[in-house]
């Protein structure tokens, strides 16, 4: 199964819209696709009541939000491709229905 098929399978399981997300993140975030990894991320603020899914280009962003990471070591891959550092990076376990967990970017970056 190729990376787009794997991503579509994930979105089908979670009830999301893969094509809408790829379009939105292509226009206002970051999309990284390789034969083995697909990543969607964007800069957000952790101090707002607005969920990161609904934040687009907020001024004063302090974190990278990983919306979708498919593939082996995908978070590690995203960290290595972040265009510029911000204090935090966060993601949620969609299939486990867990809230977003924010991590210190420098600490995560050292572990990669």
Tens of pLDDT, residues 53-74: 999 999 999 999 999 999 988 7
With 0.85 as the threshold, say if the pTM is over it: yes
User: Which run of H or E residues covers position 9?
Assistant: helix 3-14
Answer whether 81's CB lies under 8 Å from 32's CB. yes
User: What is the per-residue pLDDT for 55?
Assistant: 97
The dihedral built from the CA positions of residue 32, 52, 71 and 4, taken in this order, carries a sign that is negative
Strands 101-104 and 88-91: antiparallel
pLDDT band at 24 (very low <50, low <70, confident <90, very high): very high
Residues near 5 by beta carbon (within 8 Å), at least 6 away in sequence: none
* CA–CA dist 36, 23 (Å, integer): 20
Q: Kindly tell me the sign of the dihedral angle through the C-alpha atoms of 50, 54, 59, 63.
A: positive
């Amino acid at each position: 199964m190729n990376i787009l098929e794997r991503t579509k399978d994930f979105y089908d399981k979670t009830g999301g819209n893969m094509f809408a997300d790829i379009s939105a993140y292509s226009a206002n975030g970051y999309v990284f696709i390789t034969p083995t990894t697909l990543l969607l991320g964007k800069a957000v603020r952790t101090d707002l009541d607005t969920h990161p899914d609904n934040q687009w280009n907020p001024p004063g962003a302090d974190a990278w939000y990983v919306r979708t990471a498919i593939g082996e070591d995908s978070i590690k891959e995203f960290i290595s491709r972040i265009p510029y550092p911000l204090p935090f990076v966060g993601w949620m376990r969609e299939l486990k229905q867990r809230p977003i967990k924010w991590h210190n970017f420098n600490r995560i970056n050292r572990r990669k």
